[in-house]
Amino acid sequence: MKHSFFQNLGIDNHLSKTASSPDDRRKTDYLSSVSPIDGDVLAHLPVTSRPEYDHTITKLNSSFAQWRVFPSPKRGEIIRQYGLKLRKHKIDLGRLVSVEMGKSLQEGQGEVQEMIDICDFAVGLSRQLYGKTIASERPQHHMLERWHPLGIVGIISAFNFPVAVWSWNAMIALVCGNVCLWKPSEKTLLCALACQQLLQEVLDENNINYPISAVITGGKEAGQWLAADPNIRLLSATGSATMGRNVASRVGERLGKVLLELSGNNAMIITPSANQELALTAAVFGAVGTAGQRCTSTRRLIIHRSIYKDFTEKLKNAYAQLRIGNPLDKSMHIGPLIDREAVSSYHKTLDAILQQGGQFLVEGGTINPPGLEKGFYVKPVIAEISPEAEVVQNETFAPILYVMKYDTIEEAIRYQNSVNQGLSSAIMTTDVQESERFISVEGSDCGIANVNIGTSGAEIGGAFGGEKETGGGRESGSDAWKTYMRRQTITINFGDSVPLAQGIKFDI
């Protein structure tokens, strides 16, 4: 595959490393970037060595000393320019996301739009890192709460949102005055190098000659370096619950800070009063969009018994219209899964569905679109199954949708909350009591609870993340920025004595 956008994004020099001599190859480990569209190897990229990692940490620590004193609105100005750079390269970067990750062109560009949006948010935030003044109980004293940056923020990102999720973390962390070290998924390295390159261009244009962001390439081991390293003052990790557990326990050993955005197992409740057309579109996009590889993908539909038959028929018809194939072809709805391993876990889940008493309303299987036989394409599946079945409790990153019946709203909410994950949830209803119930304390236990929209496709303005095995972290908008800063409580005495709090007397 020849792609001019490699050049436009300034990453063709990385590609030239693919041509390194066999001797060079032996000296260094390489990771391959493979397009899931057709199995084409796009690049072989050298893995960061431990000495290189240590060197990067030293450099970032010294950058931090400079960046933290660069006034935050000025930091915002750098991010503003990065947003402009992204606007300029939206088509190219979106295309790279599609080629390397396999999502549709529209969704690839949507991801870049999400980056642009978070840049805009971060620019505003750079003038709004507000602290507090607090009344002191002591005479002639006052208290302040201030926010300071942490230092190096480590970011481990997943393949499914190879650019947006990094930017949620990095743009906020940077305006807060941190510097960032990014370990992208080893499956989407070119995307990371392109984002980094565009940021570097902005720094060069502003004569900022120290790195505020760096990328390391590697697998699990590199992730463990970050987790074990006390220089990483916050480690934000997006991925599976298994990865999150590994990372959190290592960071926990050193009593460091983590921000986790892990598995989702998102459900939509479809009530008798729902607008069924709206519910159908939201459910189908939620389940098959990005080939079911979003943390927010709809995995479960909890449908009221009275409309179950009718609605599942509509679903079956809708699934029959879906076109699976090259995501660069605008007429396709569904692109490939990320790799062979993903295809095999899809198949394992299909076997488990049958073993656990489920039955398929829409059957699965692999497909080989002509000319793309080395890609990783599968059919989206609908399975009718008990909400208690074990397979339903786990997230499979594939377009597999479970459908189940409910009788009362209490029961529906109980099913919705019965899994170990707690990222996103939705209810389709025009009944105000039901919707209020769903968003009340007795309702959804997820970080995201939507009414009459699907489980995926969150805007950047809200805090993004979830409860339980989803990890509890919040990224992106609202006041998620506070996680990237340390809070300092300050008490100032402008009097001539030292009165103690709680009325304690201490005379000398």
Inter-residue contact 10 to 196 (CB < 8 Å): no
Neighbours of 410 (CB within 10 A): 11
* DSSP state string for 13-41: HHHHGGG--HHHHHHS-EEEEE-TTT--E
The dihedral of CA 411, 416, 421, 425: what is its sign?
negative
Decide whether 107 or 229 has the Cβ nearer to ligand UN1: 107
Contact with ligand UN1 (CB under 6 A): which of 161, 182, 346, 377?
A: 161
State the Cα–Cα distance between residues 172 and 440, nearest whole angstrom. Answer: 30
Decide whether 306 or 420 has the Cβ nearer to ligand UN1: 420
Beta carbon of residue 279, minimum distance to ligand UN1 (angstroms, whole number) = 18
- Does position 168 bind ligand UN1 by CB under 6 A? no
Beta carbon of residue 224, minimum distance to ligand UN1 (angstroms, whole number) = 21
Decide whether 163 or 198 has the Cβ nearer to ligand UN1: 163
- Does position 295 bind ligand UN1 by CB under 6 A? yes
- Does position 160 bind ligand UN1 by CB under 6 A? yes
State the Cα–Cα distance between residues 487 and 131, nearest whole angstrom. Answer: 9
Beta carbon of residue 425, minimum distance to ligand UN1 (angstroms, whole number) = 12
Inter-residue contact 192 to 213 (CB < 8 Å): no
Beta carbon of residue 503, minimum distance to ligand UN1 (angstroms, whole number) = 51
- Mark whether 442 is an active-site residue: no
Of 18-26, 80-88, 139-147, 292-300, which segment contacts ligand UN1 by CB under 6 A? 292-300
Residues near 76 by Cβ (< 8 Å), separated by ≥ 6? 122, 123, 124, 125, 126, 127, 175
Of 69-77, 293-301, 329-337, 389-397, which segment contacts ligand UN1 by CB under 6 A? 293-301
For residues 227-266, which are near ligand UN1 according to CB under 6 A? 238
Contact with ligand UN1 (CB under 6 A): which of 457, 465, 471, 472?
A: 457
Contacts 24+ apart (CB under 8 A), 458-464: 458/296, 458/424, 459/117, 460/114, 460/117, 460/118, 460/121, 460/168, 461/117, 461/121, 464/168, 464/261
Tell me which of 261, 395, 469, 475 is the catalytic residue.
261
Contact with ligand UN1 (CB under 6 A): which of 236, 296, 450, 470?
A: 296
Beta carbon of residue 41, minimum distance to ligand UN1 (angstroms, whole number) = 26
* DSSP state string for 94-150: HHHHHHHH---HHHHHHHHHHHHHHHHHHHHHTT----EEE--SSTTEEEEEEEEE-
Place of tokens 């990229």: 45
Which two tokens mark 45?
A: 């990229």
Neighbours of 480 (CB within 10 A): 21
Beta carbon of residue 90, minimum distance to ligand UN1 (angstroms, whole number) = 16
State the Cα–Cα distance between residues 416 and 426, nearest whole angstrom. Answer: 9
Contact with ligand UN1 (CB under 6 A): which of 270, 458, 480, 485?
A: 458
Which two tokens mark 245?
A: 């557990």
The rounded Cα 493 to chain-centroid distance in angstroms is 45
Decide whether 48 or 160 has the Cβ nearer to ligand UN1: 160
Beta carbon of residue 267, minimum distance to ligand UN1 (angstroms, whole number) = 15
- Does position 294 bind ligand UN1 by CB under 6 A? yes
Decide whether 81 or 167 has the Cβ nearer to ligand UN1: 167
Interior/surface letters 339-355, b for 16+ CB within 10 angstroms, e for the rest: eeebbeebeebbebbee
Contact with ligand UN1 (CB under 6 A): which of 43, 165, 362, 480?
A: 165
Beta carbon of residue 421, minimum distance to ligand UN1 (angstroms, whole number) = 12
Total binding residues toward ligand UN1, as defined by CB under 6 A: 11
For residues 386-405, which are near ligand UN1 according to CB under 6 A? none
Decide whether 301 or 409 has the Cβ nearer to ligand UN1: 301
Of 205-213, 385-393, 427-435, 452-460, which segment contacts ligand UN1 by CB under 6 A? 452-460
Which two tokens mark 349?
A: 């889940």
Of 60-68, 160-168, 271-279, 414-422, which segment contacts ligand UN1 by CB under 6 A? 160-168
For residues 13-32, which are near ligand UN1 according to CB under 6 A? none
Decide whether 95 or 294 has the Cβ nearer to ligand UN1: 294
Of 159-167, 171-179, 225-233, 495-503, which segment contacts ligand UN1 by CB under 6 A? 159-167
How many DSSP H helices and E strands does the chain contain?
A: 17, 23
Beta carbon of residue 201, minimum distance to ligand UN1 (angstroms, whole number) = 26
Beta carbon of residue 426, minimum distance to ligand UN1 (angstroms, whole number) = 12
For residues 88-147, which are near ligand UN1 according to CB under 6 A? 114
- Does position 188 bind ligand UN1 by CB under 6 A? no
Interior/surface letters 416-455, b for 16+ CB within 10 angstroms, e for the rest: bbebebbbbbbbbbeeeebbebbeeeebbbbbbbbeebbb
Of 43-51, 172-180, 222-230, 456-464, which segment contacts ligand UN1 by CB under 6 A? 456-464
State the Cα–Cα distance between residues 460 and 119, nearest whole angstrom. Answer: 10
**What 8-state DSSP symbol labels residue 294?**
S
Question: Which of 299, 114, 81 is closest to 207 using CA atoms?
Answer: 81
For residues 326-365, which are near ligand UN1 according to CB under 6 A? none
State the Cα–Cα distance between residues 217 and 340, nearest whole angstrom. Answer: 21
Which residues carry out catalysis? 261
Please report, as ranges, the residues that interact with ligand UN1 according to CB under 6 A.
114, 160-161, 165, 238, 294-296, 456-458
